[in-house]
Amino acid sequence: MADNTIINVKDVHKTFVSEAKQSLWDRFRGKTHEVKRVEVLKGVNLEVAQSETVVILGSSGSGKSTLLRCINKLETIDAGRIYVHGHMIGYREQNGALVAERASVTAKKRTDVGMVFQHFNLFLNKTALGNVMAPLRDIKNLSAADARIKAVHHLEMVGLGDKLDNYPSKLSGGQKQRVAIARALAMEPAVMLFDEPTSALDPELVGEVLAVIKRIAQAGTTMVIVTHEMQFAREIATRIVVMDQGLIVEEGPPETIFTNPQHDKTRALLSRSQTSPQASES
Amino acid sequence: MDFITDTLAVFPSLIGAVPIVLQLAAGAMILALVLGLLVALARISQFKVLRAIAVFYVEVIRGTPLLVQLVYIFFVLPSIGIAIDPIPAGILGLGLNYAAYLSEVFRSAILSVESGQTEAALSLGYTPTKALWKVVIPQSFVVSLGPIGNYFIAMVKDTALTSVIAVTEILKTANILNSQTFQTTEIYTAAAILYLMLSLPLSRIVVLLERKARSRG
Ligand SMILES: Nc1ncnc2c1ncn2[C@@H]1O[C@H](COP(=O)(O)OP(=O)(O)OP(=O)(O)O)[C@@H](O)[C@H]1O
Ligand SMILES: [Mg+2]
């Protein structure tokens, strides 16, 4: 592991276990409890170095979101290790087994990882400024004045200097997502994770968000981005990672992936996007 | 004309009970808010025992009449050595009762705050507890404002029940007057109007509060 490794995912396995809905009649007959298991990550390895922009591609259900959420310990894992900045997140090792660590310890480590969600997840009772200030006050313990200066700075950076006092209900989708980006970025995380940041947006609002993300990448922020925007992926990525059915099946620099894809799945993804109306536009 | 002037003449004697009604309602509401929130938190906690205790509490309270609860506190508890004065007993009874109902209001309000916001808070470094207190609960209070206000109005009216445990609130005062003057119609009409004069402005305030809260969300 090189010194400048920010994220190190080693052989991570994740299975979702859900209890199938059982009718009263089934239970009455003493039918055994049905448990549904879906193995979503089947041994994923991924290293992300400082200043890299890694874009994860993959068809729906391939496990992209789950992988990002595991890096932030929003999901538990069954096996493997995830290190952020050299620290294992969510667990400690005891006799070679994973033991969940205290919530407050995980919380501290999470400040190293910023996350932007598909559905923005803004605090609805706070203005744009309030959203960005809240974690600076609550987690970083900045004074109101300092938090305000910092929050305003980051909101201006995403082009929302004139929307400070708007509540989320008075912002467009693109503006909401830019507030979410400012909120995460203001915490100065070591890495930013984006889970389909534009797929809940009207097409005409996608550009403004992508432009902001691009600007952050150019400033040297380490990022992992899940997206279906192929053109954007090609422009912004320093490395492309292709996932299929819970595994990374191909990775490499964007030029190689886009011009000379090796894996069938990658070819399928690329050809599908080339025939989609959005890609043919550009 | 006589009826109206006679009814109006009753008011000065009843007005003195209004501070007691407000004292009962305010005290009981504070108790109900605090306890209701605790019960709601217990009901969504990860500890089975806490959840069970909370469910038991809510079911027992909702399954028995408030009047019986008041009588129990005032007349039965002394037999096991817990004697409480009428007004504190009234506050306790009303508070314990409304806590059960408010806990349901809080619980559904907490669950109605999108789980995405909690996840966002966690990803920013909030602990689950901090996310609950800083992100979820403030919003559930806003969502609960209307129902809380309506329960408060109901509580003001329910203070009348404490007349059976010797609290000299409006109804009890009316009863005493009635036994002296036998102007039954005038006295109870005045009492009813007095309750209306308390609850109507309160309803108005609740509507305004709700409108204000909604305009922000
Ligand atoms: N909480 C859950 N419980 C059960 N199964 C889940 C859960 N979350 C995700 N899954 C399943 O895990 C698989 C991978 O989901 P994931 O969200 O990681 O896919 P994805 O690659 O992000 O797909 P998309 O492009 O649609 O967002 C899917 O089959 C999904 O149904
Ligand atoms: Mg996804």
Q: What is the ipTM of this complex?
A: 0.90
Q: What is the reported pLDDT for A35?
A: 82
Instruction: Please give the Cα distance from B138 to B160 (Å, whole number).
Output: 32
Q: What is the reported pLDDT for A274?
A: 64
Please report residues of A whose CB lies closer than 8 A to that of B133: none
A106 CA from centroid of ligand 2 (Å): 23
Chain-chain contact of A135 with B121 (C-beta, under 8 angstroms): yes
Q: Using alpha carbons, select from A240, A241, A190, A214 the residue that is nearest to residue A4.
A: A190
* Ligand 1 contact, A73 CB (< 6 A): no
Mutation target to probe the A interface, by most A beta carbons within 10 A, among B122, B124, B136 is B124
Q: Where are the domains of chain B?
A: 2-216
Q: What is the reported pLDDT for A23?
A: 72
Instruction: Please give the Cα distance from A158 to A161 (Å, whole number).
Output: 8
Q: What is the reported pLDDT for A279?
A: 42
| A243 alpha carbon, closest ligand | 1
Alpha carbon of A96 to those of A12, A80, A100, A101: distances in Å? 15, 11, 13, 15
Mutation target to probe the B interface, by most B beta carbons within 10 A, among A74, A108, A124, A133 is A124
The pLDDT-based confidence of A68 (bands split at 50, 70, 90) is very high
The pLDDT-based confidence of A34 (bands split at 50, 70, 90) is confident
Query: Which residues are placed with Cβ below 5 angstroms of ligand 2, an ion?
Result: A 65
- The distance of A187 to chain B (nearest Cα, Å) reads 8
Q: pLDDT digits over A203-245, tens only?
A: 999 999 999 999 999 999 999 999 999 999 999 999 999 999 9
Instruction: Please give the Cα distance from B196 to B18 (Å, whole number).
Output: 12
> Residue A280: is its pLDDT beyond 50?
no
Q: What is the reported pLDDT for A29?
A: 74
Q: What is the reported pLDDT for B148?
A: 93
Q: What is the reported pLDDT for A281?
A: 39
Provide the CATH topology of domain B2-216.
Answer: MetI-like fold (1.10.3720)
Instruction: Please give the Cα distance from B102 to B28 (Å, whole number).
Output: 12
User: With the CA atoms of A235, A238, A243 and A248 taken in that order, what torsion angle do they form, in degrees rounded to the nearest 10?
Assistant: 160
Q: pLDDT digits over A149-163, tens only?
A: 999 999 999 999 999
* Ligand 1 contact, A227 CB (< 6 A): no
- The distance of B179 to chain A (nearest Cα, Å) reads 54
Please report residues of B whose CB lies closer than 8 A to that of A72: 122-123
A230 CA from centroid of ligand 1 (Å): 21
Residues of chain B with pLDDT under 70: 1, 215-217
Q: What is the reported pLDDT for A28?
A: 72
Chain-chain contact of B216 with A167 (C-beta, under 8 angstroms): yes
Pocket mutation for ligand 1, best pick of A35, A38, A227, A230 (most atoms within 8 Å of C-beta): A38
Q: Using alpha carbons, select from A158, A161, A171 the residue that is nearest to residue A213.
A: A158
Q: What is the reported pLDDT for B22?
A: 94
Chain-chain contact of A138 with B126 (C-beta, under 8 angstroms): yes
